[in-house]
């Protein structure tokens, strides 16, 4: 008996899909500066300077280890379910830093953001979306570990991203006129881009769903 073909990879975990999304966000955000970073027990949000209130959510919730771009504030039930960590270390390093690179690794599901701080030093914010819990790290320009969500981090989160991360082989998407002001509503939390409904294993969805 012939076995059924394996289902295609889910879009939110498909490497090629993530790489194209990373290229799109790079075209839209390159050169922007960090306003601040909101950090919770299993998530962080990078807020960009500007009136459009655009940001990047990096989450490590069970069933929702992902990156999602969005604009504006979150609904009150979401804010209530996402407590903040005050005076987080990331806010000693990232506010005011300029985004000089953004992408997904050529052979691994790792998001990478490269920044230049006020002293023109390079910082790397890396977000691992493979594995059951993922991880997020911040490295300095010598790849010394400044911060990690989980210890010990995967070896790939403790070294400089591959050069292809910033210059993928496919053409850059055409940057739309006034793309920085283009509306980008937040997707429902844990329902990024392609999913029709949140997974039952996701703790945050169980918290905020009515």
175 or 34, greater pLDDT:
34
Q: What is the mean pLDDT of residues 76-87?
A: 82
Per-residue three-class SS string for the chain:
CCCCCCCCCCHHHCHHHHHHHHHHHHHHHCCCEEEEEEEECCEEEEEECCCCCEEEEEEEECCEEEEEEEECCCCHHHHHHCCCCCCCHHHHCCCCCEEEEEEECCCCCEEEEEEECCCCCEEEEEEECCCCCCEEEEEECCCCEEEECCCCCCHHHHCCCCHHHCCCCCCCCCCCCCHHHCCCECCCCCCCCCCCCCCCCCHHHHHHCC
Examine the pLDDT at 196 and tell me if it is beyond 50.
no
Q: What is the pLDDT of residues 89-136, one digit of tens each?
A: 999 999 999 999 999 999 999 999 999 999 999 999 999 998 878 999
Distant-in-sequence, close-in-space partners of 31: CB < 8 Å, separation ≥ 6: 98, 99, 100
Examine the pLDDT at 6 and tell me if it is beyond 50.
yes
Q: Domains plus CATH for the chain?
A: 11-208 (2.30.310.10)
On the CB side of 189, how many CA atoms lie within 13 Å of its CA?
27
Q: What is the mean pLDDT of residues 71-96?
A: 86
- Rounded to two decimals, the pTM is 0.81
Average pLDDT, whole number, for the chain? 80
Is the CB of residue 11 less than 8 Å from the CB of residue 193? yes
Beta bridge partners of 67: 58
Q: What is the pLDDT of residues 42-61, one digit of tens each?
A: 999 999 999 888 999 998 88
Examine the pLDDT at 171 and tell me if it is beyond 70.
no
């Amino acid at each position: 008996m012939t076995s059924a073909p394996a289902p295609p990879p889910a879009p939110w975990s498909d490497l090629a899909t993530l790489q194209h999304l990373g290229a799109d966000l790079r075209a839209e955000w390159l050169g922007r500066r960090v306003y601040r970073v909101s950090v919770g027990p299993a998530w962080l949000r990078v807020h960009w300077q500007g009136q459009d209130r655009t940001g990047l959510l990096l989450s490590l919730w069970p069933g929702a280890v992902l990156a999602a771009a969005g604009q504006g504030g979150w609904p009150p039930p979401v804010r209530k379910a996402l407590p903040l960590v005050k005076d987080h270390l990331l806010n000693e390093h990232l506010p005011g830093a300029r985004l000089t690179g953004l992408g997904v690794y050529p052979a691994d599901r790792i998001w990478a953001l490269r920044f230049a701080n006020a002293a023109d030093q390079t910082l790397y914010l890396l977000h691992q979306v493979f594995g059951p819990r993922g991880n997020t790290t911040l490295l300095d320009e010598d790849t010394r570990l400044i911060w990690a969500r989980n210890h010990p981090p995967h070896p790939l989160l403790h070294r400089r991203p591959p050069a292809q991360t910033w210059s993928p082989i496919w053409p850059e998407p055409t940057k739309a006129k006034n793309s920085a002001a283009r509306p980008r509503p937040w997707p429902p939390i844990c329902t990024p881009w392609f999913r029709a409904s949140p997974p039952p294993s996701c703790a945050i969805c169980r918290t905020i769903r009515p």
